[in-house]
Amino acid sequence: MSIQPYPLHFKPEFKERVWGGRALERFGFDVPQGAIGEGWMIADHPNGVSHVTNGALAGKGLDEIRELFGDTWFGSKGGSSNNGRFPLLIKLLDCNDDLSVQVHPNDHYERLPAGELGKTEMWYVLDAKPGAKIIYGLEQGVDRASLAKAIDEGRIMDCLQEVNVRAGDTFYIPAGTVHALCAGVLVAEIQQNSDTTYRLYDYNRPGLDGKPRELHIEDSLNVIAYEGSGATRMATDNAKPGEWLALASSPYFTTEKGVVRGEWRLTTTGESFVVIIVGEDSGSIEWSAGRVDAKAGDCFLLPANLGQYTLEGSMTVLRSQVP
């Protein structure tokens, strides 16, 4: 199929979650009824595939596009992950209530579900209500034995670090990091293409079906990085127009924040596609053959062979690639 590369925009796959709400409506999406916690913005997973809304490939799923164009569009490093699919999963999360306390395994955990990968991820806080917080790691000195004892005694929260958050904060969450988003936070999430989560604690609440959600205590205790996972956090108020501010660097993705004021000329390489997430305000993406409008909440996949492109307008963006 002979189609010139262009920035791909997708229809989100929305997921109802017990902790979800309606905040994703603010971005102009047609959000289905219910407590919608996740918008899978760029997805190629058995649990959700996003479909293109614009251009010659409108209506086609990311899985089909990857099969059609392979490394030419996705890059010599970004063509696929270890399970043969698109390597990243891009989400927007609306946390109307607290998420479960959880941890993700790495790629080498022997009890991974068939066909699944581990999950290293990062969060960029798009909005946070006053006093909003997250759970981010264990308290100093907590080991497997003390954590298991606290779980048995119903006092797991004593072992967890709580961190206040505000818009613009970013958190890198390697596999093995105990974490949970809490009520009042809206985030963009860049992660490995995985849907593997082990729950340690879920506040003894019922799920959407009225039954308690499954916990995974043994798997969680097995995969936690008790000596530290390499998790890092930072505020990003110092991002300057026309310069990339590094937010996270992992074996699976790099993510930077950029502030667009006017025109910013950039280029892709043949090594990796580029994911652009618009965090605030609006503008456009221009390339040799066209232009597409961009507003807060929009996520675009720029093919590796797109070449020169221009971000224009007044907006804050995140740029992610495969290293």
The predicted-structure confidence for 254-307, as pLDDT tens digits, reads as follows 999 999 999 999 999 999 999 999 999 999 999 999 999 999 999 999 999 999
SS3 content of the chain, % helix, strand, coil (to 5): 15, 45, 45
Contact 225, 177 (CB under 8 A): yes
Q: 8-234: what fold?
A: Jelly Rolls (2.60.120)
The one-letter amino acid at 111? R
Greatest Cα-to-Cα distance within the chain, rounded to the nearest angstrom: 63
Tell me how far apart the alpha carbons of residues 45 and 62 are, in angstroms, rounded to a whole number. Answer: 9
CA distance 167 to 236: 9
Report the half-sphere exposure of 40 (CA within 13 A, side-chain side): 23
Q: Is 85 a catalytic residue?
A: no
- How far apart (Å, rounded) are the C-alpha atoms in residues 147 and 19? 25
d(CA 102, CA 181): 10
Catalytic one of 17, 66, 85, 199: 199
Residues of the chain with CATH 2.60.120.10: 8-234, 245-321
pLDDT beyond 70 at 1: no
The pLDDT of residue 286: 98
Give me the CATH topology for the region 245-321.
Jelly Rolls (2.60.120)
Q: What percent of the chain has pLDDT over 90?
A: 95
pLDDT in tens, 159-207: 999 999 999 999 999 999 999 999 999 999 999 999 999 999 999 999 9
In whole angstroms, how large is the CA radius of gyration of the chain?
19
Each residue of 29-82: pLDDT tens digit?
A: 999 999 999 999 999 999 999 999 999 999 999 999 999 999 999 999 887 677
Helices (H) and strands (E) in the chain, counts: 3, 22
Q: Which helix (H) or strand (E) holds 275?
A: strand 274-287
